[in-house]
Structure 1
Amino acid sequence: MNKGEMKRLGDYIREVDVRNRDLEVTNLLGLSMTKQFRPSTSNIVGVDLSKYKIVHKDVFAFDTMSVIRVHKVPIAINLSKSPIIVSPAYITFECKDSNILNPNYLMMWFSRDEFDRYADFKSDAAVRGGYNWEELCDTPIYLPPIEQQQKIVSEYEAITRRIHLNEQIIAKLEETAQTLYRKMFVDGIDKENLPEGWRMGTLGEICCKIGSGATPKGGKECYINIGTSFIRSMNVLDLRFNHNELARITLQQAKILDSVSVESKDILLNITGVSVARCCMVPDSILPARVNQHVMIIRPNKIIYSYYLLLLLYFSKEKLLGISQSGSTREAITKSEIERFTILVPSMETVCNFDHKVSSLFQYEVLLEEENNKLNELHSLLLAKIGQ
């Protein structure tokens, strides 16, 4: 492999300032902390969009205002052939010569944790304050020959395509499970005239454990890189478990929280905050585990109820949100409210049939999620490798 050299980034990029003067572009996007474009949350009623900047293909947008606050550099590249517009406060720039500096390689460089740490350090140390265009231009970048850049980008994009394919399959699996649930337990079901063996009941009747946890003393300082998994609300998504933000605690701390230990096939439900009513099943790969006070463990007394309850809670999100917002200034659901929550209790035979149909779907989803976790680790390794 041909070795590269450390170069000053400003020698290979230039600022571009193309305004939306003719109002031809209407797709306004913002920047996320994951270094991607996202739908804008700004109120643009009455706003003059002719002052906004157009971002064409292979052009970058850079938010200089957020680095100190979030300790990351919000920066993204438009890989689409369709132009977008961004805030006039953003810096927009491009590579001077893509035959010397590949734009996708540059985006990989911006995606490295080391780059964010460098920018954070410079933000604190800069005389002008913050990490602005001048600091970005002074940033060193490892620049191998263009052939090597293209090879690195190809490897990275191959992994990215596989991750996206897995995500599409996972979405289809979840869609199929939801369709089966609606077909068996929603469509055509009259709660006043239920099939034989069916009845209305409460969640507490079919569960042997419902309870939330606590946070060990010490706050974030108590988290470690190895040990017992510690589940927080950010880990619980809609039918998904977020491994990326998983914290860990020591064995001693876990023993203190033994009363809220997590078991296989437990349902996790967020009971406070902006993510209230999101639910997922605990993945076996993170056990042993504990939860904090914002997450409720719901454990059915028969394991065949697990997938049924998971989908039931998912489709009950609006009702649960209604409970959380009643009589409180903060969205929250209590244990007693969960125990009293009215549910449809189908016959054991029907639940067994449903469990048989959907368990294989979710088991396959778990395998794909585990593969994506490994692929994301490989992503990180490739990003770290380009700086060596």
Structure 2
Amino acid sequence: MKSNYKRLGDYIRQVDVRNKDLAVDKLLGLSISKQFIPSIANTIGTDMSNYKVVQPRQFGYVPVTSRNGDKITIALYKEECPCIISQAYVVFEVIDETELLPEYLMMWFSRPEFDRYARFKSHGSAREIFEWDEMCNVLLPVPPIEEQRKIVAEYQAIEQRIESNRRLIATLEETAQTIYRKMFVDDIDPENLPEGWRMGTIGEIATISSGKTCKDKIVKKDEEHVYPVAGASGIIGYSSEYNQYMRILTTGRVGTLGVINRYNEPIYCADNVLVVESNLYEYTYQILSLLDYTKIQKGGVQSLVTQTDLYGG
């Protein structure tokens, strides 16, 4: 054990303040993406006085880790006004922020290694639980507070750049769709096309195939399972094999329809997606993104789009 690793329990304490006077009405939940999120619970007729109050810079976590995607649900509350969460959750805080920054601690909780540790240390039969005592026994490096501040500042700067890039990409995507729609949809009269133009189908510019059932999919990447598995809404796990290695587009075949994803790496396309290959890659992407899937879908309980449907779209 490294000498600078400390026991977390020496730096944190549980907080159990109930909403007895109903002064707080902002009800939030916790997600496996380690964030406080709006609660979707039906609270009609519920006694909110027993819910736990969370103050800014306090933590909440869900002790139950089974059936949780191998993640522990834990988050730092960053907003300015208090909220309330379920009485089944644990609320805790850093005792002295001159010794341990909550933001630094949250960085530690965000590591995949901590998720694996919490699952390994969870116990129970019907439900596996990461108990408070196990949380307190976590060992982590605690550098001097100035170094913690520097690490957090660097981490937050990277996060801000990532978010700025996401917003820029989203803006560029919207611009590209606007240009495409103006050039090929809004300003086009099918009865009076520009000279040399004609109406066609997706099948004329793209090859469409179906994904296949992935038999060894796991949730987290490891040394053997390194290839992403593409489902209808995006990456759903990892496999030791791949069935696509070209630059492709995918769209949902059953259930989730109309979500178009780009891939340019070895990947395993699952059986609920259609795989689209085209030399006119970006043009095909825009067509698929603006396609009205309600006009071509089939199915009863679950919506369905076949290769034939898409070929003629």
Displacement after TM superposition at 1:72 (Å): 1.8
Correspondent of 1:263 among 240, 246, 250: 246
Q: Closer, same or farther in 2 for the Cα pair 1:321/1:17, shift >3 Å?
A: farther
Amino acid at match of 2:38: P
Measured in 1, the distance between the counterparts of 2:105 and 2:189 equals 59
Amino acid at match of 2:87: P
Q: Closer, same or farther in 2 for the Cα pair 1:290/1:137, shift >3 Å?
A: closer
Measured in 2, the distance between the counterparts of 1:108 and 1:6 equals 15
Task: Please list, as runs of the form range in 1=range in 2, the aligned pairs for 1:99-110 lying within 5 A after superposition.
Answer: 99-110=98-109
Measured in 2, the distance between the counterparts of 1:311 and 1:90 equals 44
Task: Please list, as runs of the form range in 1=range in 2, the aligned pairs for 1:234-273 lying within 5 A after superposition.
Answer: 237=234, 245=237, 247-249=239-241, 257=243, 261-264=244-247, 266-273=248-255
1:307 and 2:306 are equivalent in the alignment = no
1:34 and 2:27 are equivalent in the alignment = no
What secondary structure sits across from 1:269 in the alignment? strand
Amino acid at match of 2:108: W
Q: Closer, same or farther in 2 for the Cα pair 1:230/1:133, shift >3 Å?
A: closer
Q: Closer, same or farther in 2 for the Cα pair 1:7/1:290, shift >3 Å?
A: closer
> What is the match of residue 282 of structure 1?
263
Measured in 1, the distance between the counterparts of 2:293 and 2:54 equals 41
Contact 1:4–1:144 under 8 Å retained in 2: no
1:203 and 2:202 are equivalent in the alignment = yes
Task: Please list, as runs of the form range in 1=range in 2, the aligned pairs for 1:13-92 lying within 5 A after superposition.
Answer: 13-21=12-20, 23-65=22-64, 67-70=65-68, 71-92=70-91
> What is the match of residue 333 of structure 1?
305
Cα displacement string for residues 114-145 of structure 1 (whole angstroms, at most 9, x for unaligned residues): 2222211221379x951122322233333232
Measured in 2, the distance between the counterparts of 1:204 and 1:132 equals 56
Displacement after TM superposition at 1:293 (Å): 2.1
1:232 and 2:210 are equivalent in the alignment = no
Q: Closer, same or farther in 2 for the Cα pair 1:280/1:16, shift >3 Å?
A: same
Long gaps (5+) in structure 1: 342-388
Amino acid at match of 2:171: K
Displacement after TM superposition at 1:163 (Å): 1.4
Cα displacement string for residues 131-179 of structure 1 (whole angstroms, at most 9, x for unaligned residues): 1223222333332322232222222222222212211211221121122
Correspondent of 2:276 among 288, 298, 301: 298
Amino acid at match of 1:340: G
Contact 2:28–2:39 under 8 Å retained in 1: yes
Larger displacement relative to structure 2 (109-118 or 327-336): 327-336
Measured in 1, the distance between the counterparts of 2:186 and 2:11 equals 60
Measured in 1, the distance between the counterparts of 2:226 and 2:59 equals 41
Contact 2:216–2:240 under 8 Å retained in 1: no
1:93 and 2:92 are equivalent in the alignment = yes
Displacement after TM superposition at 1:14 (Å): 1.7
Displacement after TM superposition at 1:262 (Å): 4.4
Measured in 2, the distance between the counterparts of 1:110 and 1:297 equals 37
Flag the structure with more relative contact order, 1 or 2, with Cα contacts below 8 A and sequence separation at least 6. Answer: 1
Displacement after TM superposition at 1:50 (Å): 4.0
Measured in 2, the distance between the counterparts of 1:79 and 1:44 equals 24
Amino acid at match of 2:277: R
Displacement after TM superposition at 1:48 (Å): 3.8
- In the comparison of the two structures, how many residue pairs are matched? 309
Measured in 2, the distance between the counterparts of 1:190 and 1:50 equals 62
Displacement after TM superposition at 1:10 (Å): 2.2
Larger displacement relative to structure 2 (209-218 or 56-65): 209-218
> What is the match of residue 213 of structure 1?
211
Contact 1:64–1:91 under 8 Å retained in 2: yes
Over the matched positions of the two proteins, sequence identity in percent amounts to 42
> What is the match of residue 134 of structure 1?
133
Q: Closer, same or farther in 2 for the Cα pair 1:194/1:19, shift >3 Å?
A: farther
Q: Closer, same or farther in 2 for the Cα pair 1:290/1:60, shift >3 Å?
A: closer
Larger displacement relative to structure 2 (31-40 or 20-29): 20-29
Q: TM-score, normalised to structure 1's length?
A: 0.69
Q: TM-score, normalised to structure 2's length?
A: 0.83
What secondary structure sits across from 1:232 in the alignment? strand
Measured in 1, the distance between the counterparts of 2:228 and 2:35 equals 28
Amino acid at match of 1:277: G
Q: Closer, same or farther in 2 for the Cα pair 1:267/1:129, shift >3 Å?
A: closer
